[in-house]
Amino acid sequence: MVITPRDKVILTCIAALFASRLLTISVVQLAPDEAYYWYWGLHPSLAYADHPPMVAWVMALFTALGGDTELFVRLGGFLLSAGALFFLWDTARTLFPALRELAGDVLLAFNATLLFPAGSIVQTPDTPMLFFWAAATWCGSRIVAGGPGGWWYGWGAALGLGLLSKYTMILLVPCTFGVLLFCPSLRHWLGRREPWLALVVALLFFSPVLYWNWQHDWLSFAYQLRQGFSPKQKAVALKLLEYLGGQAGVVTPVLFILVAGYSVKALRIHLDRGNPAYCYLLMLSWPVLAFFGFSTAVGKVAEANWPAPAYIAGFILAGAVFRSLYASRPAHRRLAAAGLALGIAATLVIQAHLARPFLPIPPGKDQTRQFHGWRELGGRVSRIIDERPASQGYILVSDRGTTVAGAVFYSGARLTGLDLFQPERYVFLGDLSALRGKDAVLVLHGSHEAGLKRYEGFFDSMEPAGEHERLFRGERIDGLSVKLFVGRGFAGSWTAGIDRTR
C-alpha cells in the first residue's frame, strides 16, 4: 500500500481527532443507554430483549481488563471505530485504484459528520455493527474487483457478527444480492456455491441469538418490530421531512447534499456504462435509506442513526464521482472543502461542549445534559446504603432501566438493579427468589402518590430517603431529578406487587 505525502497529512489529522476523542471518553460520564448496555455485560447472555449481545460482550471484555471506568466501558467501541476506517480506506483503494486521493477524502468525510465521531465516543449497538458492515463491504469490494470466491466467507462471517450487534445488519443481504442481480458482470455468482455458503456461515454466527429468541418466545425480534413499525399519528409528508432533516443533521447538510447529488450522477453513469463498482456502492447505500424512509412512512420516524450503514458505501460512491468528474471544477472543490471544514469544526465544538458545556443552549433543551449528574446520584445512593445497613444487602429499583443502570455504575457497587414493571427486559436475571429479603433503594422519576403505591406490594415497608435534584448548568432538570426511597424486605418476585394489591 503506497502512502503519499497527502495521505500522511490526512492520517495525522485523523490520529489527532482520535486522540481528542480518547480524552473525551475518559472524562465524560456515561450516557444512560451506555450504562444500560454496561449493566447487560454484568449478566452475560446470548441476547437481550432490546438488542443482540455484542455491545454488552465488548464492554464486559474491556471492563474485565481495565475496570469499571468510563474509559474502559467505551474503549472497545472506540477501537472498533478506528478499525472501521481501515476497511473504508482499503475499500476505496480496491474499487478505484486509479483515484489515489479518494481514500483520504472518505476518511475526512466520515470524520466531518456528527454520526461517526459520536459513535466513537458514545457506545451503542451501532458501533460494532458499523465495524462489521464496513468489514463486509470491504470483503465484497474484493469480489467486485475480481477477487476469488473465498472472500464470500469473510463476508458471511462479518454479516453474522454484525447480526450479533444489531438486527439492522440483515439489510446487507438484500443489498448485496441485489448487486448480483442487477450487475451483469457479477450475476454469475448467483450460480456459484460461495454466496450461499456465506449465508450459512452468517447463520452459524447468528445462531446463539436465534436460540435465545426461540427460548424466549421471539422476544427480541418482536420488540424491534414494535419499535420500528408502530404507527405514529402524524402526516406522512411531515414524518418524511423529519426523517430527511435528521439525516442532513447527522451527516451535516453540505455533505448530505453532495452525497445525494453525486449518487444521482453515479446512477446515470452505471445505467449508461454498467460500472460494477458504482452498482455495488449504490445498492449498499440507497436501499438502506429507502427502507428507513418506508418504515418512517408506515410507523414512527426512524431515529437519525438507524440508516448509518448507508453512508459507508455512500461516501465512497460520492467521493469517487467527485474525484472522477468534479475535482477540477472550482465550485465543487470549494463546496466540498467547505463541507469538510464546517463538519470537522462542528464535531470539535460539540465534543468540547460535551465535556464542558458552554454553548448558549437552554439547559432543558441541551441534549448533553444526559451525560451529567450521574456521579452525584451514585454517591447519594451509596450514602443511603451506608446510613441504613441491611443484613441481607441491597438491590436498586427504578422506573427507568437506564436510570437504575446508571445508579448501579456510579454507586461503585455491583448491585442487582431492575425495573419491576418491565420484566421482559431482565430475563437474564431469571428467577428473583435469590433476592428475597434484600432491602432496596428506589430511584423514582414519578412523584405522584399513585405511582409510588405500585411499589408497596413488593416490600414489607417503604420509607422516604430524600430527593436528588439533578442540576445542569445551574438549572434543575425535572425529567432527570428523582425521589429516593428505601424498601425493606423485597418479596423476591416479579408479580409480588400485583398479587398483594389484588
Residue 452 is predicted with a pLDDT of 82
Q: Do 394 and 327 lie in a common domain?
A: no
Whether residue 274 has pLDDT greater than 90 = no
323 & 461 share domain: no
Range scoring the smallest mean pLDDT among 313-322, 396-405, 440-449: 440-449
**Mean pLDDT throughout 153-174?**
98
Residue 186 falls within a domain, yes or no? yes
CA distance 8 to 502: 70
Of the candidate ranges 63-67, 81-85, 225-229, 364-368, the one whose mean pLDDT is the lowest: 225-229
Which phi and psi angles does 299 have, rounded to 5°? -135, -135
Whether 248 and 390 map to the same domain: the answer is no
Whole-number Cα distances in Å, 348 to 10, 21, 246, 338, 490: 16, 9, 20, 15, 47
On the 0-12 / 13-18 / 19+ scale of CB atoms within 10 A, 498 is: middle
pLDDT at 158: 98
User: 380 near 2, Cβ under 8 Å?
Assistant: no
Residue 357 falls within a domain, yes or no?
Answer: no
Indicate if the pLDDT at residue 240 is higher than 90.
yes
From residue 307, give the alpha-carbon distance in Å to each of 126, 191, 250. 10, 31, 11
pLDDT, one tens digit per residue, over 359-377 is: 999 998 999 999 999 999 9
Q: Is residue 398 part of a domain?
A: yes
DSSP-assigned states of every residue in 401-457: HHHHHHHHHHHTS---EE-TT-GGGGGGG---GGGTT-EEEEEES--SHHHHHHHHT
pLDDT band of residue 478 (cuts 50, 70, 90) is: confident
Q: Are residues 265 and 186 in the same domain?
A: yes
Q: What is the pLDDT of residue 501?
A: 47
Same-domain pairing of 324 and 380: no
pLDDT reported for residue 228: 64
Q: What is the mean pLDDT of residues 71-76?
A: 98
β-strand pairing of 394-398 with 439-444 = parallel
Q: How far apart are CA 130 and CA 111, in angstroms?
A: 14
What is the spatial distance between Cα 474 and Cα 414, in angstroms, rounded to a whole number?
31
Q: Are residues 131 and 23 in the same domain?
A: yes
Quote the domain boundaries for residue 52.
5-351
Average pLDDT for 304-314? 96
Q: Does 361 map to a domain?
A: no
Does residue 253 lie within any of the structural domains? yes
Asked whether residue 45 falls in the same domain as residue 93, the answer is yes
Residue with cell 481488563: 65
Residue 174 confidence (pLDDT) above 80:
yes
119 domain-assigned: yes
Kindly report the average pLDDT of the chain as a whole number: 93
Band of residue 498 on the pLDDT scale cut at 50, 70, 90: low
Write the pLDDT tens digit of every residue in 30-49. Answer: 999 999 999 999 999 999 99
pTM of the model: 0.95
Look at the block and give the residue holding cell 449478566: 43
36-71 residues labelled b (16+ CB within 10 A) or e (exposed): bbbbbbbeebbbbbbbbbbbbbbbbebbeeeebebb
Q: How confident is the model at residue 273 (pLDDT cuts 50, 70, 90)?
A: confident
What is the average pLDDT across 215-242?
Answer: 84
One domain for residues 346 and 391: no
Q: What is the mean pLDDT of residues 125-149?
A: 97
Confidence of residue 225 (pLDDT cuts 50, 70, 90): confident
> Over 60: is that where the pLDDT of 334 sits?
yes
**Residues 393, 274 share a domain:** no
Domain boundary among 298, 323, 351: 351
Per-residue confidence (pLDDT) for residue 450, from 0 to 100: 61
What is d(CA 189, CA 197) in angstroms, rounded to the nearest whole number? 12
Question: Residue 430: is its pLDDT beyond 60?
Answer: yes
Looking at the fold, whether 335 and 479 belong to one and the same domain comes out as: no
Q: What is the mean pLDDT of residues 426-445?
A: 94
Domain-ending residue, one of 303, 321, 351 = 351
Judgement on whether residues 141 and 229 belong to the same structural domain of the protein: yes
| pLDDT value at 444 more than 70 | yes
User: Is 146 within a domain?
Assistant: yes
**Same domain, yes or no, for 331 and 376?**
no
Query: For the chain, how many structural domains are there in total?
Result: 2
What confidence tier does 476 reach under pLDDT thresholds 50, 70, 90? confident
Helix ranges restricted to H, 324-371: 330-355
pLDDT of residue 230: 67
Specify if 262 maps to a domain.
yes
C-alpha span between 50 and 427 (Å, rounded): 11
